[in-house]
Amino acid sequence: MSETSTRETFAVVGTDTGVGKTIVTSGLVGWLREEGVAARAVKPVQTGYPPDDDTEFVAEACGTDDAAICIERLEPPLAPRVAAEQVGAELSYAAIREGCERALAASEVGVLEGVGGVRVPDRSPPDRRRAALVRPRRLREPRPRSRRAASRPTPSS
């Protein structure tokens, strides 16, 4: 892995707007930066902009503009697809995902901040919901430490 590619990515998600995702994101990115880690927050879509600007909040909390980036901004304070339709804009899942990937690749640790709730309506196919933006960022499956560990049964839920 190159020195500039993301080594870890965390997703900060919530059940709705106003539940503290941006505060958690700014705290995590700020702490990592204080520890000398090149961390960056990435917000796929910001609605209600202006006055709401989550990336500005994170940047101010961290003391630097490069602490956070937003891929798409829309003025109406609505679910992203609804806001886009209202202003005649087109939201491209592929473009948003590509923008997130580029922004995350420029940091050691990326913090992907969710948009509204995880399953906020977006009129996308199920595999294109905001939850799907988080899924590809999951890190590798944990590997068993030994063959013996691999053969142990896992507790059922």
- CATH at 113: 3.40.50.300
Q: Note the pLDDT of residue 18.
A: 87
pTM of the prediction? 0.74
pLDDT tens, position by position, for the chain (157 residues)?
A: 344 454 789 999 888 888 999 999 999 999 999 999 999 999 999 999 999 999 999 999 999 999 999 999 999 998 888 999 999 999 998 999 999 999 999 899 999 998 887 766 655 555 555 555 555 444 344 444 445 544 555 555 4
- On whether residue 156 sits in a domain, the answer given is no
Dihedral angle of Cα 54, 56, 60, 64, to the nearest 10 degrees: 120
DSSP tag of 54: H
Token code pair at residue 115? 């948009």
Q: What range does the domain containing 49 cover?
A: 9-139
CA distances to 12, 16, 27, 86, 99 from 22, in Å: 8, 12, 8, 25, 19
Burial (CB count within 10 angstroms: exposed 0-12, middle 13-18, buried 19+), residue 56: middle
- On whether residue 65 sits in a domain, the answer given is yes
- On whether residue 3 sits in a domain, the answer given is no
- On whether residue 157 sits in a domain, the answer given is no
- On whether residue 54 sits in a domain, the answer given is yes
Q: How many domains does the chain have?
A: 1
Q: Note the pLDDT of residue 156.
A: 54
- On whether residue 111 sits in a domain, the answer given is yes
- On whether residue 144 sits in a domain, the answer given is no
Is 21 an annotated catalytic residue?
A: no
- On whether residue 145 sits in a domain, the answer given is no
Measured from the Cβ of residue 5, the count of other Cβ atoms closer than 10 Å reads: 11
Measured from the Cβ of residue 125, the count of other Cβ atoms closer than 10 Å reads: 9
- Catalytically annotated residue among 43, 73, 129, 130: 43
Q: Note the pLDDT of residue 145.
A: 47
